[in-house]
């Protein structure tokens, strides 16, 4: 590692995850969702790895993301999962990007964009089956379908699919899962990059692809009773070796991680000591010697005893998606397993 901190992404792991996911979805096709820079892992490299492993579709949120995939030369089907009024729909249609519609108004907007583009829009109608977020409610659904069929008959759009969103997929046995169901295309989000949301240990065929690492940039000795960082929320109990890690809340480390989140260095885990600053935090190594340049693993797959993103999520009362996405685009990234 030639930089003080980085996020390392193993694309071989991404390919293995997609292979495992394909086996578990059975006869259904697999869409790898690479929105939000592939949950902080890098949209283009992860998309390429997922497609190489057999994902048939890619999913994004914004048209701009879909266009970036096309500019990178990816020709696989791409669905933009959220259409917004006034969005770049005409551009999306011209670049063979599928669009979503969950209201009669959006159907009309996409049809108008298709006429300007000179070709039909490929549209997936979204129905709200219990998420109460995007999509048409059951009372509104007949009107959406009627509007879409009329525009299809006029040659302005092609209805490619009907889709919904599971509200409690990470809660096995929840009655809403069977009620909402699944059919012939399964969208996998963080599973592509090995971010679990299910309770309990992660299945052996799924593995985190991201490791966030840094090096100590300063080491110092302080006496007992020394206050550490802003507000002196942490005070040393003995003569201590303090190591400075060049990452803070601007890079993705939550400010309230002090005393809750652990990192791995010198063969064991250590709690973050004191308030996390904008670009740095402190580790109290106690009587353990440390030196500038020592590696600190914030989280990874856990192979060496380092915390995982799940450990961080559990400590902070959130999910792995938020942990990984916090670091997305804020750190230099390196890649393993590039083919």
Q: Which of 35, 39, 126, 234 is catalytic?
A: 35
Q: Which of 48, 230, 249, 264 is catalytic?
A: 230
Long-range contacts (CB closer than 8 Å, 24 or more residues apart) made by 18-23: 18/49, 18/50, 18/53, 18/54, 18/55, 18/192, 19/53, 19/54, 20/203, 20/205, 20/206, 21/188, 21/191, 21/192, 21/206, 22/53, 22/54, 22/55, 23/205
Active site (annotated) includes residue 249: no
Active site (annotated) includes residue 220: no
Phi-psi region of 337 (alpha: psi -120 to 50; beta: other; left: phi over 0): left
Q: Which positions are catalytic? A: 35, 230
């Amino acid at each position: 590692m030639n930089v003080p901190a980085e996020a390392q992404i193993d694309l071989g792991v991404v390919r293995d995850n997609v292979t495992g996911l394909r086996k578990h979805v059975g006869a259904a096709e697999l869409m790898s969702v690479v929105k939000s820079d592939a949950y902080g892992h890098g949209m283009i490299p992860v998309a390429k790895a997922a497609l190489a492993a057999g994902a048939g579709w890619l999913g994004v949120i914004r048209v701009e993301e879909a266009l970036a995939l096309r500019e990178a030369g990816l020709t696989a089907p791409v669905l933009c999962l959220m259409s917004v009024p006034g969005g770049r729909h005409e551009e999306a249609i011209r670049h063979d990007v599928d669009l979503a519609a969950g209201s009669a108004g959006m159907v009309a907007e996409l049809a108008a964009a298709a006429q300007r583009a000179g070709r039909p829009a490929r549209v997936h109608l979204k129905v709200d089956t219990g998420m109460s977020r995007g999509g048409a409610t059951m009372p509104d659904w007949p009107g959406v379908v009627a509007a879409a069929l009329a525009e299809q008959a006029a040659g302005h759009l092609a209805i490619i699919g009907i889709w919904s969103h599971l509200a409690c997929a990470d809660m096995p046995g929840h009655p809403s899962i069977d009620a909402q169901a699944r059919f012939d295309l399964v969208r996998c989000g963080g599973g592509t990059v090995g971010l679990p949301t299910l309770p309990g240990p992660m299945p052996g065929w799924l593995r985190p692809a991201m490791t966030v690492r840094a090096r100590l940039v300063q080491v110092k000795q302080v006496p007992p009773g020394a206050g550490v960082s802003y507000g002196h929320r942490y005070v040393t109990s003995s003569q201590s070796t303090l190591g400075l890690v060049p990452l803070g809340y601007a890079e993705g480390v939550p400010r309230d991680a002090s005393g809750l989140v652990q990192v791995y260095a010198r063969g064991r885990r250590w709690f973050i000591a004191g308030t996390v600053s904008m670009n740095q935090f402190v580790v109290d190594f106690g009587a353990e010697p440390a030196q500038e340049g020592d590696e600190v693993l914030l989280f990874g797959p856990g192979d060496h005893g380092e915390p995982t993103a799940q450990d961080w999520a559990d400590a902070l009362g959130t999910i792995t998606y938020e942990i990984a996405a916090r670091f997305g685009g804020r750190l230099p990234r390196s890649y393993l397993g590039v083919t």
